Amino acid sequence: MGTVMTLRSNIGLSPWDVLADGIRLKTPLTFGTAVIAIGVVLVVASAIGRVRPGIGTIANMVLIGVFADLMLASGVGAGLMDGPLVWRVALDLGGIVTIGLGSALYIGAGLGTGPRDSLMVLLSRRAGLRIGVARAIVEGTALLGGIALGGTAGVGTALFAIGIGPAVDTAFRLFGMEVRPKVPVDPR
């Protein structure tokens, strides 16, 4: 839902969605299928870094792409795309908060982090960074790749890149959660 909220705000895609959009533009993939393809690459990279995927990782990877395509095809929220700017900014910020809350909740369930969050957790652990800082770095890297592929970026992209780290970090604190004991790690 948060992904579609940021898409429907029409003020710029989130960094990962800029990347998915760039891939969509360069291939025959739909937006949701591009999201899934990115997820596969991230799961493999994180697994190499010893953040093992769980059932939640795979579910996240597949379901976000599938539901994004279904919601986009249904036209849900399409009328908001041309609404007043203040409402579109509010929708975009609501999407960022929704994604931050959702990220904390499914990571906290201990069923495996989503592909993007697996990379965020890996970076946080390996570099000794706060989870919010690690998320901001991961988002910035995805954004640069998406722009290079011609994906759509704008003010909403900047809001997401700046806001998602603090949104996830705040949600972790709000729910009294710590990332380290919740994510299965291969001890090798």
Q: What is the pLDDT of residue 183?
A: 44
What is the mean pLDDT of the segment spanning 32-38?
Answer: 96
The Cα 61–Cα 35 span in angstroms is 8
The Cα 144–Cα 150 span in angstroms is 10
Average pLDDT, the chain: 87
pLDDT at 72 over 70: yes
114 against 57, higher pLDDT: 57
pLDDT at 187 over 70: no
What is the mean pLDDT of the segment spanning 89-106?
Answer: 90
Confidence band, pLDDT 50/70/90 cuts, at residue 181: very low
Partners of 51 in the beta sheet?
185
What is the mean pLDDT of the segment spanning 86-93?
Answer: 95
Residue 112 tokens, joined: 């495996």
Percent of the chain with pLDDT over 90: 42
Which residues, 6 or more positions from 141, have their beta carbon under 8 angstroms from its beta carbon?
Answer: none
Three-state DSSP class for residue 51: strand
Confidence band, pLDDT 50/70/90 cuts, at residue 118: confident
**Is the overall model pTM greater than 0.95, yes or no?**
no
The Cα 37–Cα 140 span in angstroms is 19
The Cα 44–Cα 53 span in angstroms is 9
Sign of CA dihedral 76, 88, 148, 118: negative
Which residues, 6 or more positions from 86, have their beta carbon under 8 angstroms from its beta carbon?
Answer: none
The Cα 142–Cα 117 span in angstroms is 13
Percent of the chain with pLDDT over 70: 95
The Cα 81–Cα 27 span in angstroms is 25
What is the mean pLDDT of the segment spanning 104-125?
Answer: 81
The Cα 12–Cα 73 span in angstroms is 19
Do the Cβ atoms of 68 and 3 come closer than 8 Å? yes
Do the Cβ atoms of 159 and 9 come closer than 8 Å? no
